[in-house]
Amino acid sequence: MQNLVNWFRHQFNNPQVIILAVFLIVGFTLVIYAGNMIAPVIASIVIAYILEGGVKVIEAIRIPRIWAVLIVLSLFLILCFALVFGILPLVSTQALQLASQIPSWVADAQAALLQLPDRYPDILSEEQVRGFIAAIAQLVAQIGQQIVVTWSASSVLGIITVVIYLILVPILVFFFLKDKVKLTTWFTSFLPDRDHGLTITVWQNVDRQMSNYIRGKFWEILIVGGVTYTTFAIFGLQYSALLSVIVGLSVLIPFVGAAVVTIPVVVVAGVQWGFSPEFAYLVIAYLIIQILDGNVLVPLIFSEVVDLHPVGIVVAVLVFGGLWGVWGVFFAIPLATLVQAILMAWPRMSEEEEAQE
């Protein structure tokens, strides 16, 4: 116990550690208790991270930063409009078509289950199968009711939120990119001149790692989603646009996302073709895409990002997902990178200091 007390006394006698700890506590408190209010700011910072690389590339050819920001932001907005008005209608149409097909799939599944007692009378009885079907139907009905209630309660608020985002986010992104140096200088001016070295070191590491990660994930989503859509379209898979969008977004959740998104792909392919050669070929092609993503694309894109152990990634997804839900899952890796940068920059006791303690 005394060793633990000595460790705390030694660590928090360092003014730089105290400043870093206060900064982290304030930051996490704002995110936890005011996350909904500052969500547009957080979204703008994320987009600014994504676009900063393009701004630097244009600046490298001696174009003033203001023009580089305007060019990159304009191209980004054009891309967003193209995605919204080009892909979103197709995806929403296929989602509605898929939803309309689910009842017939459920009926077919029920008919198949009711045949099991005739085939395996020693293992299953008709009462057991009907009880299982009733339990599943009740669960699906409860989930559907919750979705309807949630959607009806939040639809108006969601529309207002989207309008606010469409107005505020581009403006904030523009100023974050244009005045990046001014904003960081203004922020650091509130820190003590001699005791903020540790905080600056952690911020520089996090800034480099997180910006690389976010930009890398942006390109990974586009590449994986595009290749998946092309593959599904070649095979003639139904709902190819919807499924490829889901597969592309699944890369935001390492390991878990790839495993979960495989289920709808296999189910749709199985319903369309059954256990046929077409089904096998598509599943093999999909698995090849996942293998190439994990073993070729990810190492290539994230070569500059600090590697995190798979156990650390899973723990980060569970912890931050439990704290902040879907957004915590999406940003689990950047947050884990923040934790790792803090641990790497945290001052350690030398052997002489340990001996004195």
pLDDT given at position 345: 63
CB hemisphere CA count around 46 (13 angstroms): 17
Where do the structural domains in the chain lie, given as residue ranges?
196-349
CA atoms of 288 and 296, how far apart (whole Å): 11
Is 190 in contact with 23 (CB distance < 8 Å)? no
Q: Which two tokens stand for residue 3?
A: 């060793």
pLDDT number for residue 355 = 45
The closest alpha carbon to 65, from 197, 170, 199, 176, belongs to 176
Q: What is the pLDDT of residue 71?
A: 93
What secondary structure does DSSP assign to 152-201, as a single string?
A: HHHHHHHHHHHHHHHHHHHHHHHHHHHTHHHHHHHHHTTS-TTT-HHHHH
Q: pLDDT tens track of the chain, all 357 residues? A: 556 666 556 555 556 666 666 767 777 777 667 666 777 887 788 788 778 888 888 988 888 989 999 999 999 889 888 877 777 777 878 777 777 777 777 777 777 777 777 777 777 777 777 777 777 777 766 666 665 555 554 454 556 666 777 788 889 889 988 888 888 777 777 666 555 566 667 677 677 767 677 777 888 888 999 999 999 999 998 888 889 988 988 887 766 778 888 888 998 888 888 888 888 999 999 999 988 887 788 777 765 555 666 677 777 777 777 776 666 766 777 777 777 767 766 655 444 444 444
Q: What is the pLDDT of residue 350?
A: 44
Determine the distance from the C-alpha atom of residue 84 to the mean position of all C-alpha atoms in its chain, rounded to a whole number.
19
pLDDT score, position 296: 80
CA distances from residue 233 to 150, 237, 238, 279, 308 in whole angstroms, order as listed: 34, 6, 8, 14, 35
